[in-house]
Amino acid sequence: MKFLRFALAAGCAAIALTGCETLQVAQNYNPPAHRPQNPGNVRVKVSLKNQAVYVLEGNRPLLVAATCVGLPGEHRTPTGNFDVIEKIATKRSGSYGFSVNGNNIRPCESGGASGRYVGYPMTWWVGFTPGYGFHQGYVWPIPRTHGCLRLHKTVAPKFYALVRIGTPINIAYTQPEDETLGKNLQRPTDYKDPDPPAAFMVSPAVFEAPKGSLFVD
C-alpha cells in the first residue's frame, strides 16, 4: 500500500528482478481474459523475475498480466507449488489500515488504531497459503509488497473469476512462459497516481464490482 513507504534505492541498479531498460508500459492497462472451456483444467504460474502472472488452461493462455511481488528478505513472496485455499472478494487487511474517529481518518497499523480500525482493502483476494494471496492493488515495476501478489484493478476481478478453490499455483523465480507469453509483457503506469481519498478506502464502495463481461469470449 502506498502510504507505507519502503526504503528502496532508486533506479535500475537496485532492481534485481526486472529489466528497466526493456520495460513496456501501457497507459490504458486492461489485459484481455478468456473464458475457460473446463475450469478444472485452469492453473496459475507466477514468475518473480518477470513479475508476471500466467493463467493457463493446458497450454492455452487465459490471462497474462503484470504483478507486483514481495521485497527480498523478510517480505519475499513464497515459492513452490500451492493451491487456491480461499476466495474473498471483500477482504480487508488485519494488519494495515485506517483509524476512524468521526470524519478523522488516518493510516495506521491495527495495534495503533485510536478509533475504529478499518483494514486496508485487499479486494478480490485469492489466498494460496496462510497470510499470502493475490489481491487488487498498485502494480509497481519493482518488488514492493509484504509478500502478496498485487494485481491491477482491471486484472484482479478477471483473475478471481478464472480460479476456484483447488486451482494449482506454481510460483518460481522464472517460468518458461517468460520467453514467450511474457516476453513483451506490458505494465501499468497508474502506480504513480495519488492514493484514493481515505473516506473512499474505508467505505463499501471500494468493493464495487466492474460492470459488463470480464471475458472477451
For residue 14, is it within any domain?
no
For residue 198, is it within any domain?
no
The per-residue pLDDT of the chain, averaged, comes to: 90
pLDDT of residue 22: 54
Take residue 56 and report the three cell numbers written for it. 493457463
Percentage of the chain lying above the pLDDT 90 cut? 83
pLDDT of residue 115: 86
pLDDT of residue 17: 46
For residue 171, is it within any domain?
yes
Q: Are residues 46 and 113 in the same domain?
A: no
For residue 200, is it within any domain?
no
Q: What is the 8-class DSSP label of residue 157?
A: H
> What global pTM score does this model have?
0.89
Residue-wise DSSP of 93-147 = EEEEEEEEETTEEEEEEGGG-SSEEEEEE--SEEEEETTEEEEE----SS--BSS
145-154: average pLDDT:
97
Q: Are residues 63 and 133 in the same domain?
A: yes
* Whether the predicted pLDDT of 114 surpasses 90: no
In DSSP terms, 83 is beta-bridged to: 168
Q: Are residues 73 and 100 in the same domain?
A: no
For residue 130, is it within any domain?
yes
Q: Are residues 50 and 137 in the same domain?
A: yes
Q: Are residues 78 and 100 in the same domain?
A: no
List CB contacts of 191: < 8 A, sequence separation 6 or more.
68, 138, 139, 140, 141
For residue 24, is it within any domain?
no
pLDDT band at 8 (very low <50, low <70, confident <90, very high): very low
Give the whole-angstrom CA distance, residue 43 versus residue 37: 13
pLDDT band at 10 (very low <50, low <70, confident <90, very high): very low
Q: What is the per-residue pLDDT across 59-105, written as a single tens digit (0 to 9) for each?
A: 999 999 999 999 999 999 999 999 999 999 999 999 999 999 999 99
pLDDT of residue 57: 98
For residue 73, is it within any domain?
yes
Weakest-pLDDT range from 122-131, 154-163, 169-178, 190-199: 190-199
Give the CATH number for residue 183.
Answer: 2.40.440.10
Q: Are residues 150 and 68 in the same domain?
A: yes
The domain tally of the chain equals: 2
Q: What is the per-residue pLDDT across 184-205, written as a single tens digit (0 to 9) for each?
A: 999 999 999 998 999 999 999 9
Give the whole-angstrom CA distance, residue 182 versus residue 17: 14
Give the whole-angstrom CA distance, residue 21 versus residue 159: 28
For residue 103, is it within any domain?
yes
Q: Are residues 96 and 186 in the same domain?
A: no
pLDDT of residue 135: 98
Q: Are residues 182 and 100 in the same domain?
A: no
Q: Are residues 96 and 188 in the same domain?
A: no
Q: What is the per-residue pLDDT across 119-144, written as a single tens digit (0 to 9) for each?
A: 999 999 999 999 999 999 999 999 99
Q: Are residues 74 and 130 in the same domain?
A: yes
Q: Are residues 157 and 72 in the same domain?
A: yes
List strands edge to edge, sheet with 86-88.
86-88, 125-129, 132-136, 149-151
Domain that residue 172 falls in: 41-88+124-192
Dihedral sign from CA coordinates of 94, 97, 102, 106: positive
Q: Which of the two residues, 103 and 10, has the higher pLDDT score?
A: 103
Q: What is the per-residue pLDDT across 17-46, written as a single tens digit (0 to 9) for each?
A: 444 445 687 779 999 999 999 999 999 999
pLDDT band at 113 (very low <50, low <70, confident <90, very high): confident
